[in-house]
Amino acid sequence: MKSVLITGGSGLIGSAMKQIMDDYKLEFYCTFLNSKQCDLCNYSETLKIFSEFKPDIIIHLAACVGGLFKNMSDKVRMLEENVLINTHVVKAAHESGVQTLIGCLSTCIFPDQIENLNENIIHDGPPHFSNEGYAYAKRLMDIHCRVYRQSFNRNYFCIIPTNIYGPNDNFNLEDGHVIPSLIHKAYLSKQRNNFFEIRGSGKPLRQFIYSLDIAKLIFQLMEQKVSENIILSPSDQYSIKEVAEIINKHFENDIVFNNSFADGQYSKTTDNSKLKDLFNFEFTSLEQGISETIEWFKLNYDTLRK
What angle, rounded to 10 degrees, do the helices at 75-95 and 43-53 form? 40
Residue 174 located in a structural domain: yes
Same structural domain, 100 and 70:
yes
Helix-strand-coil split of the chain, %, nearest 5: 45, 15, 40
Q: pTM for the whole thing?
A: 0.91
Position 24 scores a pLDDT of 67
* Position 184 in a domain: yes
Q: Could you give the CA distance from residue 166 to residue 184 in angstroms, rounded to a whole number?
A: 13
Domain count, the chain: 2
34 vs 264, residue with greater confidence: 34
| Residue 276 domain-assigned (yes or no) | no
Comparison of pLDDT for 74 and 149, the residue scoring more: 149
Using 50, 70 and 90 to split pLDDT, how confident is the model at 268?
Answer: confident
Say if 274 falls within a structural domain.
no
Catalytic residues: 134
- Judged against a pLDDT cut of 70, whether residue 262 lies above it is answered with yes
Q: Note whether 223 and 252 are same-domain residues.
A: no
Residue 73: is its pLDDT beyond 80?
no
Q: What CATH number should be reported for the domain holding residue 143? A: 3.40.50.720
Q: Does residue 12 carry a pLDDT above 70?
A: yes
Tell me the per-residue pLDDT of 21-69, one tens digit each, with 9 for 90 and over: 877 666 778 999 998 899 999 999 999 999 999 999 999 999 887 666 5
Range of the domain at 261: 170-205+237-267+285-299
Q: What is the pLDDT of residue 68?
A: 60
Question: With bands split at pLDDT 50, 70 and 90, how would you rate the model's confidence at 169?
Answer: very high
272, part of any domain: no
Give the confidence band of 267 by pLDDT, cuts at 50, 70, 90: confident
Pair (101, 223) in one structural domain: yes
Per-residue confidence (pLDDT) for residue 65, from 0 to 100: 76
Q: What angle do CA 267, 143, 114 make, to 5 degrees?
A: 20
- For residue range 80-105, list pLDDT tens digits in order: 999 999 999 999 999 999 999 999 99
Same domain, 289 and 184: yes
Q: By mean pLDDT, which of 12-26, 49-63, 112-126, 140-154 is the weakest?
A: 12-26
Residues 130 and 253 in one domain: no
pLDDT: is 108 or 91 the higher one? Answer: 91
d(CA 173, CA 139): 27
Residue 305: band (very low, low, confident or very high) from pLDDT cuts 50, 70, 90: confident
What's residue 91's pLDDT? 98
Same domain for 184 and 293, yes or no, is yes
As a whole number of angstroms, the distance between CA 276 and CA 233 comes to 10
| 126 lies in the same domain as 222 | yes
Judgement on whether residues 50 and 198 belong to the same structural domain of the protein: no
Lowest mean pLDDT among 60-69, 171-180, 294-303: 60-69
Contact status, residue 232 vs residue 162, Cβ threshold 8 Å: yes
